[in-house]
Structure 1
Amino acid sequence: MVSDMSNAAGSVDLFGLAFSNGSGADVLKAARASTAPGPRIIVTANVEHIVTLRDESAFRSAYAHAAVRTLDGMPLVWLARLRGHRDARRVTGHDLLDAVFAEGAAASGRVYMLCASDEAGRILTRRFVAAGYPAAAVAFEVPPFGFERDEAYGRRLAAAIKEHGTTLLLMGVGAPKSEIWADRQGAALGEPVVLCIGEALNVAAGLVPRAPVLMQRLGLEWLFRFAGQPARLFHRYFVRSWRFLVLAGLDRDLGPSLGKRSGA
């Protein structure tokens, strides 16, 4: 089942997938309106995602079940415009999180965060409370390395998220594990809107800087990130990313290998 993007202000078709062309607020609204059972996952596609979709069937399944997909990476926006979608727009994890804070507690309800560090969790909890969220409505966990492969831990964590009454789950532990884990847990999570937004949580906590606006507009945000973590990001940006050009040239269908969502 490929998600209906009609409620997200139109859609852009690339690689056999439909991406929302709405604003961050539009995307949140569309995800909440989804009638599919289980979590309403929002994925933010970049070049690395497209390359990974080619190789990872579990990631393709997560993209298939996503309530909404957005174009995060500027190369995808440029490609969409070249293919005739002149109004294609970029919506990043930062944009989605900004939209969450702009809406306020009445819209988002109860928030659960999977963070990369305790510091990020504590800072963001204080930020949500300062924005008007009741302290009891905000919770976080720092999952251990490899948590996505630990089935027992995954069941306990999913149960804690559902017991919390979570209506907004923020996944800040990176792709593709965030998307795959949320998709595999399925109904065990309840029916929260799930934002798979990775480093955006650390940026929102003030622990990691974001590229200047001009670099963002020029599509050079990757270069800013690379300058901060060259050893970790070299292979991604200078080896794997070239595969995107091949996939873009072939316009290969990366649409999903659909399967029943675990627990759904």
Structure 2
Amino acid sequence: MSKAIESGASADVFLNRKPACADRALSKLETQIVELEARVEAALADTETIPNGPPAKPEAVEIWGVPFSRLTLGQTLQHVDGLIAAGRPGYFITANLNYNMLTSQHPQLRQVNDNASFIVCDGMPMVWRSQWTDRPLPERVAGSELIYALTQWSAHKGHRIYFLGGAPGVAQAAADKLSDRYPGLTVAGVHSPPFRPLSDREHAELIEEIRGSQPDIVYVAMGQPKGELWIAENYQQIGAPVCVQIGASFDFVAGGVARAPRWIQRAGLEWCYRMLQEPRRLARRYWHNAAFLLRSLRQESLDAVR
């Protein structure tokens, strides 16, 4: 029996104690976020004036069927400002290797990609592959970092953010944590739809709720490709200048899923770290991603010798 319980300490205290490894992981995560926030502050110092009019569509390089915009994190934030200043409904995409694979399987995603304001690269394999072209991607723009950076940016600029999707309570927890971290943040609304198809009435009420909250940015957490397809179908009715599918970012922020250490991210092995965390959910997906990657590289090799 534990000494904590034998000595009369409450079971709640005993059960809620975090192991030392969890504390170290939180400390490393905090260090990553602080480093990220310093980058955002530097970008803010360079762009205190909101751009006039819509920004030109950034230069892109196509990697395995997806046209990735050649943007750094700071440039991504500046383009978001330009879209908000223009005031027209729009969206952008954060695309990882899984999204590349899905684009090859779902022809409708090509139209979704074509209509996007821009697509940032959230995968090291595509960054590495782009180095073989005359238009290399400058860096990976990870969705799990973008949610912090874009929220910090929005708190400074006064942009209103709507949180849509995720498991019950997760979107609210993410909104609360981000509000605590960035006091200037304006949360336009939070909604976690049920995990089933919405009726026509429910769908109409959801669109009206989001539109009525007048958000500048809508974070959508519905999974791939459901989130991207939902945005492409509804962004005009929502009317927000910026919608973006942010995947598991609500879970990262709320604390349900831990991010990989920085060295693992830079090595392009975050997929392995996440699979060890959620093997049942992710093992099959990453197996298919790896097969897609090998097929793509093999096809490029064959094309090169023809």
TM-score by length of 1: 0.81
Distance of aligned partners of 1:70 and 1:244 in 2 relative to their CA distance in 1, 3 Å threshold: same
Task: Determine the structure 2 residue equivalent to 1:242.
Answer: 291
Retained in 2: the 8 A contact 1:51–1:241?
A: no
Cα deviation, 1:29-79, whole Å, max 9, x if unaligned, reads 224434998632121111111111111133222222111101111111111
Task: Choose the corresponding residue for 1:76, options 112, 126, 129.
Answer: 126
Of 147, 152, 159, which aligns to 1:97?
147
Alpha-carbon distance between aligned partners in 2 of 1:200 and 1:241, rounded to the nearest angstrom: 22
Between the two proteins, what is the percent identity of the paired residues? Answer: 25
Query: Rg bigger for which structure?
Result: 2
Pick closer, same or farther for the CA change 1:245–1:151 going to 2, 3 Å. farther
2:120 and 2:141 in contact (8 A); partners too: yes
Matched, 1:107 2:157: yes
Which structure 1 residue ranges, 5 or more long, are not aligned? 252-264
Deviates more, 1:39-48 or 1:21-30: 21-30
- RMSD of aligned C-alpha atoms? 2.7
Please say if 1:199 is aligned against 2:248. yes
- Higher mean C-alpha displacement, 225-234 vs 118-127: 118-127
C-alpha change, 1:83 and 1:179, in structure 2 (3 Å) is same
Say which SS state the counterpart of residue 222 (structure 1) adopts: helix
Q: Which stretch of structure 1 is more off in the superposition, 108-117 or 207-216?
A: 108-117
Q: CA 1:217–1:106 in structure 2 vs 1: closer, same or farther (change >3 Å)?
A: closer
**Deviations for 1:198-235, whole angstroms, at most 9, x for unmatched residues?**
11121012221011111101110000111111122122
TM-score by length of 2: 0.71
How many residue pairs match? The answer is 245
Structure 1 residue 157, shift from structure 2 partner: 1.4
Q: Following the alignment from structure 1 to structure 2, what is the Cα–Cα distance between the partners of residues 86 and 134? A: 34
Aligned to 2:183: 132
Q: Secondary structure at the match of 2:119?
A: strand
> What does residue range 47-86 of structure 1 map to in structure 2 within 5 Å?
47-86=97-136
* Structure 1 residue matching 2:214: 3-state secondary structure: coil
Report runs of 4+ in structure 1 exceeding 6 Å deviation.
none
Preserved contact between residue 90 and residue 236 of structure 2 (Cα < 8 Å): no
Query: 1:155, CA displacement in angstroms?
Result: 2.5
Instruction: Give how far 1:120 is off.
Output: 2.0
Aligned to 1:168: 217
Query: Does 1 or 2 have the higher relative contact order (CA < 8 Å, sep 6+)?
Result: 1
Q: Which runs of 5+ in 2 are unaligned?
A: 1-53, 301-306
Change (3 A) 1:51 1:108: farther
| Residues 95-137 of structure 1: per-residue CA shift (max 9 Å, x gap) | 32122233142525221111313332232222343322466x4
Provide the residue aligned with 1:27 in structure 2: 76
- Partners of 2:66 and 2:100 within 8 A in 1: no
Specify whether residues 92 and 112 from structure 1 end up closer, same or farther in structure 2 by C-alpha distance, changes over 3 A only.
Answer: same
